[in-house]
Amino acid sequence: MESKKINQQHINKVRKAPKKYGLLFEEYGKSSNIDDYTDTEISEMIYGAYEHKKMLLADENYFIDLTMVTEIICDLGNVSYLKKIEIKEKEESKNNSIINIKAFYIKDYWLITKGEICGITKHKITNFFHKIGVMTQGKGNHQSCYVIDNDYQSLQKFEQGLFPKDLFHPVKLFINRFFFKDDYRISNFRVDHNFILEK
């Protein structure tokens, strides 16, 4: 997992006392012996990702079995623009051309499961994406959101519509590729927002 690096000193502390730091390697890992894990694997477990059993820590501190996931939702709060276009109100959506968007401001990412886990089927994983470094904390008017830059400047076709490629990218890398070695293993993806995104 190509994620934000964890300090080596902290990894060493966790290795010496994994239970103290909440690692569930005996339950969800590949071995009950902590010495069988590389520093990279310990980092992944610190983030709450257990590749061997396909388990991921939700924001509310319980584990999601990723084989149960049927849909992934990105709750998009707002966007910022490269250039604010001065146009008539009826054409305001032209501001939201994908090539005019500078960054996306995300409220949350959700996994939807086919059965209940902890009594619910909708599970928040926003903190996971933030901790591993794929999105940063917003500032100013957007401090309650997280930021992903519009690097691809393109929309991608999914079953539920056309959505920004950059918003699926964390799912592609850190859910599909990491856990399943298949970039599109879970591809039922949608972005919820209250404005129109244009080509």
Rg of the chain taking only CA atoms, in angstroms: 19
Structure tokens that stand for 173 in this block: 């890398």
Q: Give dist(CA 20, CA 198) in Å, integer.
A: 49
Tally Cβ neighbours within 10 Å of residue 2: 12
Q: How many CB atoms lie under 10 A from the CB of residue 89?
A: 5
Cα–Cα distance measured from residue 117 to residue 70, given in angstroms and rounded to the nearest whole number:
13
**pLDDT of 117-167, one tens digit each?**
999 999 999 999 999 999 999 998 889 999 999 999 999 999 999 999 999
- How far the first Cα of the chain sits from its last, in Å, is 32
**pLDDT for 39-77, tens place per residue?**
999 999 999 999 999 999 999 999 999 999 999 999 999
Distance CA 175, CA 169 (A): 10
Question: How far is CA 185 from its chain centroid?
Answer: 15
pLDDT digits (tens, 9 = 90+) for 2-37: 677 899 999 999 999 999 999 999 999 999 999 999
Is pTM, for the whole model, over 0.85? yes
- What is the sign, positive or negative, of the torsion defined by CA atoms of 118, 68, 183, 102? negative
Residue given tokens 């006392």 in the structure block: 17
Task: Place 90 in a pLDDT band, splitting at 50, 70 and 90.
Answer: very low
Alpha helix (H) ranges present in the chain? 8-16, 25-28, 39-46, 126-131, 165-171
User: How many whole angstroms separate alpha carbon 170 and alpha carbon 84?
Assistant: 27
Alpha carbon 94 to its chain centroid, in Å, reads 28
